[in-house]
Amino acid sequence: KQEVTQIPAALSVPEGENLVLNCSFTDSAIYNLQWFRQDPGKGLTSLLLIQSSQREQTSGRLNASLDKSSGRSTLYIAASQPGDSATYLCAVRGYNNFGNEKLTFGTGTRLTIIP
């Protein structure tokens, strides 16, 4: 059974710093991995989708890396801003025993950027 872990559960950093969020998963047989952000009381916004054959994906100040063999992904945020404060979730996509797609989520890292 796939398990996704995100450590730490919460992180506070001063504005302007670069930071790294971690995601680890137990089953390396994944199809892809997706990073999301969730603002309080809101739904999830997709940030980056990284395929299992890729090593990294970039969008603006965000860079996601994937090391499938070691079961790890990182989300790098450059020059952090107060607007980056949110909970960041990673989700790995695999397939269950019936061949149906299954997205397994971590519990997220709650990020606070201090002005």
- Token pair, residue 88, equals 């960041």
**Binding flag, residue 54, another protein (CB under 8 A):** no
Binding mask 4-43 for another protein (x = CB under 8 A): x--------------------------xx-x-x----xxx
Residue 84 neighbours by CB under 8 Å, 6+ apart:
77, 111, 113
Residue 36 CB, nearest approach to another protein (Å): 8
Contact 35, 20 (CB under 8 A): no
Question: Which secondary structure element, helix H or strand E, spans residue 11, and what is its range?
Answer: strand 10-14
Residues of the shown chain interacting with another protein in the complex, contacts defined by CB under 8 A: 4, 31-32, 34, 36, 41-46, 49, 89, 91, 93, 100-107
